Structure formats: C-alpha cells, structure tokens
Structure 1
Amino acid sequence: MGCGNVFFTLLITFSVALITYNIIISSNAPLKQELPGPSRSSSSITVDPIIKMPVDKSRGGSGSKRLFHTAVTASDSVYNTWQCRVMYYWFKKMKETPNSDMGGFTRILHSGKADKHMNEIPTFVAQPLPSGMDQGYIVLNRPWAFVQWLQQADIKEDYILMSEPDHIIVKPIPNLSRDGLGAAFPFFYIEPKKYESVLRKYFPEEKGPITDIDPIGNSPVIVGKESLKKIAPTWMNVSLAMKKDPETDKAFGWVLEMYAYAVSSALHGVGNILFKDFMIQV
C-alpha cells in the first residue's frame, strides 16, 4: 500500500508539472499569422479543397491594421455574466499590446433587457427567440442575437471575431482572416463527412462536395462583416430547421448550432483558414 501511495503521488506530481509546462509554453508562443507553405515570394494563393488553408505566407497590403470587432453572446445568468466580466478584463489587457488587431468589443445580451453591468461591459441588448422556440436549447438564441446586432448596431470595424464568454484571451490576436476567407479553429468533433446523409438535407449536392463544410463552429471565427451579415440569417434558419428535425437533433445534440454555422458559411461560399493554435481547449 505504501509503495502504491508513493507511485500515485509521483504520478499526480508529474501530471501537474506537465500541464503547467504546456500552459506556460502555449501562453508564450506567438499566435502566428504566417501560413504554412513552400514559398514566400508567390503572389498567388492556393487553397486546400478540404481545409481551406492558404499556402502563401505573405501578408500583403501596406501593413496597416485590419481591426476586428469582438462580439460575445451571453445570457443574463450569474455564471455567464461572471464569465463575460473575466473575458472582457483580459480583452482590454491584450488589446493594447503589440501585434493586436483587436478593435471594439460587444457583449450581445440576448435576455431582452439591460442589466447592471451595462456600464462595465459594452453591451447590445437583443431580444430572445419567442417563448418555446428554442425547445430548451438556449444556444439557438445566439444566431438570432447576431442577426439583430448586425442589423441594428453601428459597427466600425470591417471584421468580426465571434467569441464566447468562457474564452480567455492570453495573447494579442492578429486578424488571421484574408482574401475573403474566414479564420477559424477546427474542432475534432465536427465531422461533416461522417454525417453527410444528415447534412445533405441542408447542403444539397448541387451546392458542392461535403468537404466544403469546414469542421468549425461559429466561435472562434474571424470573418468579414459583410460576409457575416449574409451568413447570420441563414445560420439562424438552419439552426431552427435542424432543431425541428428529430434525426438531425439526435445526431448533433449540443453541437447542433455549430454545424448550422458551418453549413451556412459553406452555403454562402465563405471558406475558412483553419488555425489549430487559435485556441487551446481545456
């Protein structure tokens, strides 16, 4: 028993040390805007048909900042509000650092009413879906909230970063989108090919191969504002249609709204550059 306890203690100590090391390394590593590829000199851009990853590394342009607006949808729950306050704190710290293309910030509050944190966090109040329409899946309010915000708010920046309350920004974020493509994090559990028969209800074959649907959700995604204005209403309608369909609802469960965004982006021809170092999941 004594040897077992010593071994268990050593195992726990080693695991904690390894996790701590990985966190330190990841927080110090720069979020690279350079993209993989054999050449920096080519002026053309090549896109992988599956992951939409450009192989040209040059940034192009005059080097001027392309600011993006960070938008976070939230409910009025105590927990969600606390997450937003923490996230906004780190947003402000990272915004002013070098290599940041971070512009304004908005909490899109889809409770339909203001709260006491309006003066602390820049907030747009969106109306929730009509009672019962979300069928207990509160995330369905997210695309509807974005539709309202994009239609009614005065957004200065030309790009939008869609984020979530539980995201903590640990380094300055450059604008990773380019050439009409969004920039997104690839989720291993978003598998369009696996669920092709289900997704063809919303992305018919004449729209293109199933690989046109990227393995993403709506967050984190940096995308052009005008592109998102086109995507958002479709995202809302596809989300509602998926939730109403028993087969789709059963297949996708809690990630249904993520699939809906991926489908909607593909329907509008907006591909995404996939950055595995965009986010760390813990």
Structure 2
Amino acid sequence: ADADADATASLVEQGLMEEDEFGSHHALGLGASRGTEDDDDDVDPSLYDEEEEDECHESPNTEYWGELSKGVLANGNANRADTARACCESCKKNDVVCNAWVWDPSSKACWLKKTTTYQPPAYDPAKITFTSGALHPTQPRYAAIAKSKRDREDPPFCLHTMITSNGQPYMNWQTRVFHQTWREASQTRGSPLRHFTRVLHRTKDDELVNEIHTVRIDPTHPECDRGCDYAVKDRARAIAEWTKLPDARRCSHVLMAETDYLFVRSPPPGVLLEKGHSYGFLFGYIIPWHADAMPASREFTQFMQREGTWRKGLKIEDVPQSGNAPQVMHVDDLAKVAPTWADLVEFGEDNAVIKKVFGWVRDMYAFDFALASVGIEVHYPPVPFNKLMVQPPADVRLGAASFMHYTWSPILSDKTGATRWRFDKRQFQGAAGSSPDFVALEEQPLPPRWDPKAGYKLQAGEVVTEEGLALMTMMAEAFNGGVRALPGKFPEGYDSLADVANARTT
C-alpha cells in the first residue's frame, strides 16, 4: 500500500495524475489536455474541410427498398427522368409521400418510394445498375455559444470522446489501440476531437490509468471486476455518475464509443447537433416494435409507466433503432438520458423476459427507450452516408464514416476452401492480444492482395469484392498503426508482465 501511495504521489508531481476536491486521483494520461490555453476555446469548424451534405444522398449501383409512394407518379415507367438528380427532384416535390428514389440509367425510369426505416441501400456493382438515394431528415447543427457570452457552466464547442470499461485485459488491449487511433485523428486540422476519457467501472484502478485519462466510478456490481455474465451491466450507471463530474463538461458534446473502434479520420464538426438531437448509427437488429421484440419492449414500457418516465402519447414505434455507441449528443442531453438508461438496465438484469428476448444488446435497447422518454431525436443516415461508423465486412464501403468497428470477425477463404486470412478479436485474447493477465500486442497479418481469380468468400459464403477487401485491408492497417503508435510494449509506467500482473491484483 505504501508503494502504491508513493507511486501515486510521484505521478501527481509529474503532472500525470491529479487529485480532485474529494481526494480521488484521476490519471491525466496521453491525450489528456490539462491547463492548456485553448481548453476553453471553441473548435473552429471553418478549419475543417467538410463537404456540404447533398440531400439527395445519391449512390450508384444501389437500390432502396420500400413501398411505392401513393398519390404521385411513383411507377418508374410512368415517371421518366433524364438524370439521377432529376429523379431525386421528383421525389423532393412529393416529399410528403416520398423519401426514397430509384433511377434506372438505361430506361430513365424513376421510382418514388416511401420507407419507414432508413436501412442501408442494397449495393452490388456487379448486379445492380440503378442509382438510388433517400431524403433524410435535416440535421440541425449546434450553434456554438460565443466564449464572451457563455455562462460558467457552458462548455466550449468541441467533442469529448468517452468509452467505458471494466478493466478486463480483453477490453484493455482494445482500448490502447483505439486511443492511439483517436490521438492521430484528433490532430486533423479543424477536428472537433479534443478530449478522451475512459470511464472505469471497477473497484480499483488498473494498468491503464497512467496511459489513458481515466475516471474511475465504483461499480454497482463489483463481481464484474473479475468477469461476469454481462460485462456492461455497470456501464449506464457509471456514465450517469460521470455526467455529474466536471470532467464530463470539458466539451459541449460527447461521442460515446466502444473500445473496439478504430479511427481512420476525424469526424466532421457537422455531427455536433443542437440540443434535443443526437447523431447515431442505425442497427438493423434493433427493432423495438418487431413481434419478436414486443414482449421485452412491453416490459420496459410498463416499468417506465410505473416510474413516470414514459411520456404521454409516446409509442413503441417512436423508440429509435440505435444504441449508446456510437452516439454524439450534447452533454446536457446525456445527463438527462443516462439516469433513466441506468434504471432500465438494472431493471433488465432482474427481468427474465428482457434478458431472454433482448440478450446481449439489452443495454442498447434500454438506451433507446431512455432516448424516447426524454424526447431526443436520433439522426442516423445509413452507410455509406453515416459520418461515424462502418462495420467491415458487413459494410463494404467507407463512405463518409470516420471509424471502423471490428466486431464482425471476417474469415477469408479462396475457391479451394483454404483460409487465407482472419481478423477475429476474440482470438487475440490468449494469442497476440491478451491473456488472463497481459501479453504485449502485436501487429496482425494483412489480407491477401486482390485476385479476381481467387474466388474470395467470407465464412458464411458471401462473395468478397475488390472494394470490400480494400476496406478490410484498411481496417487491419488501422489496427496495426495503432499498435505501432503505442508508447511501449507495456502500458505507461510498467516494464514487465510481472509489474502489470501486480497492478491488477494489489
């Protein structure tokens, strides 16, 4: 204990850790800005070369599914357009009943459609000759408050990236790599990325507190320190507690992220929206009103009605198809949403129906119900127009995205059936990435080069295109770049496996 106290005192003296008014110590690791002159200044969006969004969202070799619009010339054979842009304009003129369009460049047919969910369009350069698009709801950008007019409580216009962790080795090696890719992206001219915080829901510090700015919150479920049946059950409550701290108000907006993300560029300032609006990601498997989901959705709504958090007139169809990450929202909105989210997560952990029906995404559903209860409108343009995330190999184009989620674990084989490449984060544990204690990270092999004769396929039989292979290669290169950028083989402040193991057990 004396050795730990001496180490903490040394870190405070070096400026790598600070003590708050309650006597708690918080790491000020790499990427944390402390006492710099521009901490209170707004990000200047004009410095970022952000393209103006095209409301037509034109995408070649795609087709949007949806019902044909009613009451307009929806049938493409009766509604000709010389160009894709003209087809889009036809949809815009009938925007009450049209929000998606499909144009055939050969026949000039223009189909007008109405879709209730903005799922990514079907995309296949080899088979689809159509060009299509969708008219997404307008995203109201946040108007930064001038520094001279801000109250003391008003944070500066910028984006604070926040992740959560229970400190398990499996999450910690992911965190180290993600943090390095964030650091590089944050150096982009005009980037809104300014601060990075790891919210650690754990009973004691772990080996990363010297390397990454960390705020530790005592968990509701301390048994999760050593692993539990649902590792994120403390996440919502920890975020709710974090929003009460000054650390949460270092920027106007928070990007809630996951440890298994990889930045490939900075998100544009345009993802910072007005209060009452958030910029998220549409998950096709989150459908609160689906017949299979309804038993659990009713459990949530009945609980919220008893608690008085279900707004009058709110319908299950109003619950968004998103999740807590990735999500960009004003810190004041997050402070409103998080307590209800945390209550729903705790309720779900004691509810057999919710655990069975919603499974491992039950805290994502809980977040969506909390968003609806507060009245936050989520904007989530589909890939390739989403400015936050893609998930290779499910997505084959980077599009407008800023980071990748490497959760789908592609396994690439050729026409002979031989495995040519795999990228499975779950196999990194105990191998190149981690172990029950800690193993230094290593770079991972890249996919093979494109060969049109190789017949590349994924594990479920999906044909791999040259474009899709290029995106998977970019993902692996981003991971390796993060590994190379690490400050050392071991986390900051440690020189051996024994040191790391000791930090986790004492």
Assess same fold via TM > 0.5: yes
**What secondary structure, in the 3-state scheme, does the structure 2 residue paired with 1:201 have?**
helix
CA 1:158–1:35: 2 relative to 1, 3 Å: farther
1:51: how far off? 6.2
What's the counterpart of residue 332 of structure 2? 226
Unaligned 5+ residue runs, structure 1? 1-29, 40-45
1:99: how far off? 4.6
What's the counterpart of residue 25 of structure 1? none
What's the counterpart of residue 53 of structure 2? 34
> In the alignment, does 2:294 pair up with 1:199?
no
Mapping of 1:1-282 within 5 angstroms? 34=53, 36=55, 55-56=137-138, 61=143, 66-131=157-222, 136-154=229-247, 155-175=249-269, 176-179=271-274, 180-194=276-290, 195-203=293-301, 206-276=312-382, 277=386, 278-282=388-392
CA 1:243–1:130: 2 relative to 1, 3 Å: closer
Distance 1:60 1:71 in 2: 19
**What secondary structure, in the 3-state scheme, does the structure 1 residue paired with 2:55 have?**
coil
Distance 1:60 1:270 in 2: 14
Q: Which moved more, 1:66-75 or 1:173-182?
A: 173-182
CA 1:242–1:99: 2 relative to 1, 3 Å: same
**What secondary structure, in the 3-state scheme, does the structure 1 residue paired with 2:233 have?**
helix
Q: Contact 1:36–1:57 at 8 Å: present in 2 too? A: no
Distance 2:359 2:145 in 1: 43
**What secondary structure, in the 3-state scheme, does the structure 2 residue paired with 1:200 have?**
helix
Q: Contact 1:33–1:174 at 8 Å: present in 2 too? A: no
Q: Which runs of 4+ in 1 moved over 4 A?
A: 30-33, 48-54, 57-65, 131-135
1:229: how far off? 0.5
Distance 1:214 1:241 in 2: 20
CA 1:201–1:33: 2 relative to 1, 3 Å: farther
Distance 2:161 2:191 in 1: 12
Q: Which moved more, 1:172-181 or 1:238-247?
A: 172-181
User: Larger RCO: Structure 1 or Structure 2 (Cα < 8 Å, ≥ 6 residues apart)?
Assistant: 1
Q: Which moved more, 1:192-201 or 1:70-79?
A: 192-201
Distance 2:142 2:280 in 1: 20
CA 1:199–1:113: 2 relative to 1, 3 Å: same
Structure 1 residues 193-241: Cα deviation after superposition (integer angstroms, max 9, x where no partner): 2023431332368441222111111000001101110111110100111
Q: Contact 1:70–1:102 at 8 Å: present in 2 too? A: yes
1:258: how far off? 0.4
Amino acid corresponding to residue 173 of structure 2 in structure 1: W
Amino acid corresponding to residue 250 of structure 2 in structure 1: K
RMSD: 3.2
Q: Which moved more, 1:125-134 or 1:75-84?
A: 125-134
| Higher relative helix content | 1
Q: Which moved more, 1:61-70 or 1:146-155?
A: 61-70
Structure 1-normalised TM-score? 0.77
Structure 1 residues 123-166: Cα deviation after superposition (integer angstroms, max 9, x where no partner): 11111114469972121111011012111343211111100110
What percent of counterpart residues are identical? 27
**What secondary structure, in the 3-state scheme, does the structure 1 residue paired with 2:317 have?**
helix
Distance 1:124 1:217 in 2: 22
Q: Contact 2:164–2:200 at 8 Å: present in 1 too? A: yes
Unaligned 5+ residue runs, structure 2? 1-48, 57-87, 90-95, 100-114, 119-134, 147-155, 393-506
Distance 1:233 1:77 in 2: 25
Structure 2-normalised TM-score? 0.44
1:112: how far off? 2.4
Amino acid corresponding to residue 300 of structure 2 in structure 1: Y
Amino acid corresponding to residue 242 of structure 1 in structure 2: G
CA 1:207–1:237: 2 relative to 1, 3 Å: farther
